[in-house]
Amino acid sequence: MFVLTVDQRASTRRGDLVPELLADLAPFGARDGIVIGFDRTVGDEVQAVLDDAALVVEIVLAIGRWGGWSTGLGIGSVLTGPGGRLPAVSREASGPAFVHAREAVERAKTRGAPVPCAVDGPDPVAAGEVEALLRLLLAVGGRRTPAGWEVVDALARTGGTQKDVARVLGISEQAVSQRLRASLWPEEAAVRPVVTRLLQEADA
């Protein structure tokens, strides 16, 4: 399984933004793959347990786009209680995945690089590969312009073609194509399945 531990950066200066983060994450709550939903654990930290690698990648990239958070991804098992049941909230759960998530978020918080994301798991090499690709995708997203995000978001909403996006945004197909190229969206779209597969393998 996968544990995401997300800690607010510069909370003393920015105030408590956990309620806003939980509201932003709420749409993911109904998705398959959320085993224990996001909730505040302690202070300005939130946590969740997931079992879907693709959803983990999607959420990590979304949190990175919103900014202001250190994200630790732990890979491993989660202990169950009587009858094989998991607790209703993550702060009552435990297991190796939680230990790895704690180590990861602590490393993400102290990292001097501008991409505060770290991955930890039973296989350091596999976790390192996932971390490297996630940080690359986060860096690409961090350099995307508002115009680039506009076409990327429209493409995701419509689930259609560049022609559909051009019609929705009221711009030319050529402009859509130029924005997608400049935003490195084709490259990101190609890398996402790779990091998802590596994350699945790391949890195997």
Q: How far apart are CA 14 and CA 110, in angstroms?
A: 18
Categorize the per-residue pLDDT at 80 as very low, low, confident or very high, splitting at 50, 70 and 90. Answer: confident
Q: How far apart are CA 120 and CA 74, in angstroms?
A: 5
Render pLDDT for 53-66 as a digit per residue (tens, 0 to 9).
999 999 999 999 99
- pLDDT value at position 112? 65
β-pair partners for 50 = 2, 34
Of the given ranges (81-85, 126-130, 146-150), which has the lowest mean pLDDT? 81-85
CA terminus-to-terminus distance, the chain: 9
DSSP structure string for 30-71: GSTTEEEEEEE-STTEEEEEE--HHHHHHHHHHHHHH-SEEE
- pLDDT value at position 104? 96
Q: What is the mean pLDDT of residues 89-117?
A: 87
CATH code, 2-122: 3.30.70
pTM for the whole structure: 0.92
Categorize the per-residue pLDDT at 103 as very low, low, confident or very high, splitting at 50, 70 and 90. Answer: very high
Q: What is the mean pLDDT of residues 150-162?
A: 90
- pLDDT value at position 157? 87
Exposure of 193 by Cβ count < 10 A (0-12 exposed, 13-18 middle, 19+ buried)? exposed
Render pLDDT for 6-17 as a digit per residue (tens, 0 to 9).
999 877 777 788
Q: What is the mean pLDDT of residues 116-137?
A: 96
Q: What is the mean pLDDT of residues 184-202?
A: 96
Q: What is the mean pLDDT of residues 132-153?
A: 95
Q: Does 133 score more than 70 pLDDT?
A: yes
Name which residue leads in pLDDT, 134 or 78. Answer: 134
- pLDDT value at position 113? 60
Q: Does 91 score more than 90 pLDDT?
A: no
